[in-house]
């Protein structure tokens, strides 16, 4: 990939022309490893232990969840080179130009939520680096840096991902060695017997983490040359995302187990400070804090960039435009970052419990969306899209696509009796002993309803229609 140039990215929701494609699939590995090897993933791993799982079974459950969710996430990524489109623009082929707005609103809320949690943790790290006790200082500094990088766009985010990958590899290797050398981790393994409810919660936390990348993962593979192998795009994305996340979550599960057993400090009340203490303090702690900030910068830039994509996808569905001005891009990015900074300043002290319920709730609403998108792309339309029609409410895909919208609604509603949330626990969940299998039910119901209906009402063209082909056809028939 060419070195970043000091210019703001000019592409928004329009298709990336073939002549502007660049890079290699390995860039997806560095980007997604860097986005996953970070402090919030460590916290996600610790949650499995905090909420009742044995450390060993938590790590194994997280691994199963990361594998399952990573497959879904990487299948979304593989769409990028072929289409050259942002993920949520391509979802108009399933939901309709207006219908795609419904999941888009939920995606924006997800971006703001993850950006807020990242800003809270990174703000703590910056304050520790600067030796400042004022919470707002670190949060505002982190928000400002995120804004600059997100506005600059795709190339700079990829460059940051490469830096975060190097720092993440070094930092995580060091922390892993310290944990094993400093503590007898065998003391926290198999302290509890296997239990389905806590194991399935661990699986859900891993799967939920991966699947929340689905709505925007193709935004970063769409710049790859069109002839890029889908298989390579899939595997580099999968390896980076699952590898980074599982490593971070394993450290989190071990840290949570050591803390709960009274063997390794207080991770539960001070996640960032715990990592610095684990490193041994001093310059080593500063290096770990720098790793935390860099890793969170990568993923928060993805969140800010993705929120911009979703916001303009909503606005252009109504306006009919195929692109937006740079000033509009900057406005949307600043708006989301300002919201995340504001929320971070007033974040609840019950951070871990809120974060757990946030991840599981996201899994509930995005699982049906992923099922619909992947079934249509790989099994119904089979990679064939009418790209100009994605921007035209009167075109092939129309304003609303009833099969997708009904299937999505049923996929979400069918999960309610199986939920295991603080605010609501479904009646079947009680019967299952507290096990949350809602997302599995959502996959099955959505797939069973959508697939035969989509096959019967398919609007796929005989082959993919690109913007240039559409204009040539119009000229020939006029």
In the chain the first and final C-alpha atoms are separated, in Å, by: 41
What is d(CA 217, CA 305) in angstroms, rounded to the nearest whole number? 11
Contacts of 59 (CB under 8 A, 6+ apart): 45, 48, 249, 250, 253, 254
For residue 206, the model assigns a pLDDT of 93
Cα–Cα distance measured from residue 32 to residue 77, given in angstroms and rounded to the nearest whole number: 11
Give the mean pLDDT of 64-78.
96
pLDDT of residue 348 exceeding 60 = no
Predicted confidence (pLDDT) per residue in 361-399, tens digit:
777 888 999 999 999 999 999 999 999 999 899 999 999
| Confidence check: pLDDT of 403 > 80 | yes
Q: For residue 274, give Cα distances in angstroms to 179, 258, 323, 341.
A: 12, 11, 45, 23
pLDDT at residue 309, as a whole number:
76
Residue 142 confidence (pLDDT): 92
Residue 181 to residue 183: CA distance in whole angstroms: 6
What average pLDDT score do residues 59-66 get? 97
Indicate whether 224 pLDDT > 60: yes
Residue 474 has pLDDT above 50, yes or no: no
Q: Nearest Cα to 78, choosing from 378, 372, 313?
A: 378
pLDDT score of 2 more than 50: no
* pLDDT given at position 151: 82
How sure is the predictor about 475, in pLDDT bands with cuts at 50, 70 and 90? very low
Is a pLDDT exceeding 90 seen at residue 360? no
């050591």: which residue's tokens? 258
Among 91, 1, 109, CA closest to 368: 91
**Which three-class secondary structure state does DSSP give residue 160?**
helix
State the DSSP string of 267-314: TTT-HHHHHHHHHTSHHHHHHHHHHHHHHHHHHHHHHHHHHHHHHHHH
User: Is the pLDDT at 335 greater than 70, yes or no?
Assistant: yes
Confidence of residue 75 (pLDDT cuts 50, 70, 90): very high
SS3 425: strand
pLDDT at 64: 97
User: Which DSSP letter does residue 386 get?
Assistant: B
Cα distances (angstroms) measured from residue 196 to each of 87, 203, 251, 433, 442 = 35, 10, 22, 8, 19
Give the residue among 274, 261, 216 at the shortest CA–CA distance from 90. Answer: 216
What DSSP state is assigned to residue 127? H
pLDDT at 472 over 50: no
- Mean local confidence (pLDDT), 217-237: 93
pLDDT at 423 over 70: no
Given a cut of 50, whether residue 124 has pLDDT beyond it is yes
| DSSP string computed for 33-46 | HHHHSSHHHHHHHH
Q: What is the pLDDT of residues 262-292, one digit of tens each?
A: 776 777 777 888 888 888 888 999 999 998 8
Any idea which of 95-99, 198-202, 229-233, 301-305 has the lowest mean pLDDT? 301-305
What is the arithmetic mean of pLDDT over 200-212?
A: 90
Q: What 3-state class would DSSP assign to 348?
A: coil
User: pLDDT band for position 65 (50/70/90)?
Assistant: very high
Q: How confident is the model over 305-320, as a mean pLDDT?
A: 76
Residues 6+ apart with CB under 8 A from 121: 39, 40, 43, 271, 272, 292, 296
Residue 476 has pLDDT above 50, yes or no: no
Kindly state the tokens that stand for 457. 């009402």
What is the pLDDT at residue 98?
93
Chain centroid to Cα 26, Å, comes to: 19
Lowest mean pLDDT among 125-139, 225-239, 256-270, 346-360: 346-360
The DSSP output letter for 220 is: G
Whether the pLDDT of residue 326 is over 70: the answer is yes
Residue 76's H or E segment, with its range, is helix 55-77
pLDDT band at residue 250 using 50, 70 and 90 as cut-offs? very high
- pLDDT number for residue 324: 67
Q: What is the pLDDT of residue 320?
A: 67
| Integer-rounded Cα radius of gyration of the chain | 22
pLDDT of residue 249: 96
Directed axis angle between helix 326-345 and helix 101-130, to 10°? 60
**Token digits for 408?**
């999505």
Q: pLDDT tier at 333 (50, 70, 90 boundaries)?
A: confident
- What the block records as the tokens of 373 is 């998108």
Who's near 29: CB < 8 A, 6+ residues apart? 165, 236, 237, 239, 240
Closest Cα to residue 468, out of 388, 408, 412, 394? 388
Contacts (Cβ under 8 Å, ≥6 apart) of 69: 206, 207, 208, 209, 210, 211
**In the structure, what pLDDT confidence band is assigned to residue 3 with cuts at 50, 70 and 90?**
very low
Residue 1, pLDDT > 60, answer: no
Among the ranges 229-233, 321-325, 356-360, which has the highest mean pLDDT value?
229-233
The rounded distance, in Å, linking the Cα atoms of 368 and 412 is 7
* Mean pLDDT within 132-161: 84
The mean-pLDDT minimum among 64-73, 105-114, 177-186, 220-229 falls in 105-114
Which residues have C-beta within 8 Å of that of residue 337, sequence separation ≥ 6? 115, 143, 146, 147, 150, 304
Which helix or strand (DSSP H or E) is residue 179 part of?
Answer: helix 154-182
């Amino acid at each position: 990939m060419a070195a970043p140039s000091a210019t703001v990215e000019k592409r928004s929701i329009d298709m990336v022309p073939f002549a502007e494609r660049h890079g290699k699939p390995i860039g997806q590995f560095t980007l997604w490893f860097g986005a996953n090897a970070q402090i919030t993933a460590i916290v996600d791993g610790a949650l499995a232990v905090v909420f009742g799982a044995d450390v060993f079974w938590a790590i194994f459950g997280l691994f199963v969840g990361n594998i399952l969710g990573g497959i879904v996430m990487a299948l979304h990524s593989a769409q990028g080179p072929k289409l050259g489109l942002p993920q949520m623009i391509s979802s108009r082929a399933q939901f309709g130009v207006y219908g795609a707005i419904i999941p888009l609103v939920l995606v924006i809320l997800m971006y703001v939520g993850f950006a807020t949690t990242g800003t809270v943790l990174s703000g703590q790290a910056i304050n520790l680096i600067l030796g400042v006790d004022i919470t707002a200082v670190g949060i505002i500094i982190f928000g400002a840096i995120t804004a600059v990088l997100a506005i600059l766009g795709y190339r700079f985010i990829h460059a940051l991902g490469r830096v975060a990958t190097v720092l993440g590899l070094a930092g995580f290797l060091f922390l892993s060695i310290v944990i094993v050398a400093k503590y007898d981790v065998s003391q926290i393994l198999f302290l509890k017997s296997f239990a389905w409810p806590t194991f399935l919660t661990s699986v859900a936390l891993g799967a939920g983490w991966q699947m929340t990348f689905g709505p925007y993962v193709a935004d970063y593979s769409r710049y790859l040359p069109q002839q890029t192998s889908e298989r390579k795009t899939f595997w580099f994305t999968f390896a980076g995302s699952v590898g980074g996340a599982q490593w971070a979550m394993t450290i989190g599960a071990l840290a949570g187990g050591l803390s709960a057993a009274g063997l390794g400090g207080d991770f539960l009340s001070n996640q960032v400070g715990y990592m610095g203490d684990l490193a041994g303090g001093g310059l080593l702690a500063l290096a770990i804090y720098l790793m935390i900030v860099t890793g969170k910068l990568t993923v928060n830039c993805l969140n800010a960039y993705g929120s911009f994509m979703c916001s303009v996808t909503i606005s252009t569905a109504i306006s009919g435009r195929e692109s937006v001005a740079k000033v509009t891009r900057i406005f949307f990015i600043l708006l989301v970052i300002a919201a995340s900074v504001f929320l971070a300043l007033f974040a609840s002290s019950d951070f871990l419990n809120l974060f757990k319920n946030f991840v599981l709730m996201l899994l509930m609403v995005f699982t049906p969306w992923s099922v619909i998108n992947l079934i249509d792309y790989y099994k119904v339309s089979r990679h064939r899209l009418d790209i100009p029609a994605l921007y035209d409410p009167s075109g092939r895909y129309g304003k609303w696509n009833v099969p997708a919208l009904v299937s999505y609604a049923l996929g979400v509603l069918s999960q309610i009796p199986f939920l295991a949330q603080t605010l609501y626990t479904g009646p079947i969940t009680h019967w299952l002993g507290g096990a949350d299998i809602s997302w599995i039910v959502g996959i099955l119901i959505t797939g069973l309803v959508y697939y035969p209906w989509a096959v019967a009402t398919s609007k796929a063209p005989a082959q993919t229609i690109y913007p240039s082909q559409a204009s040539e056809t119009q000229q020939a028939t006029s």
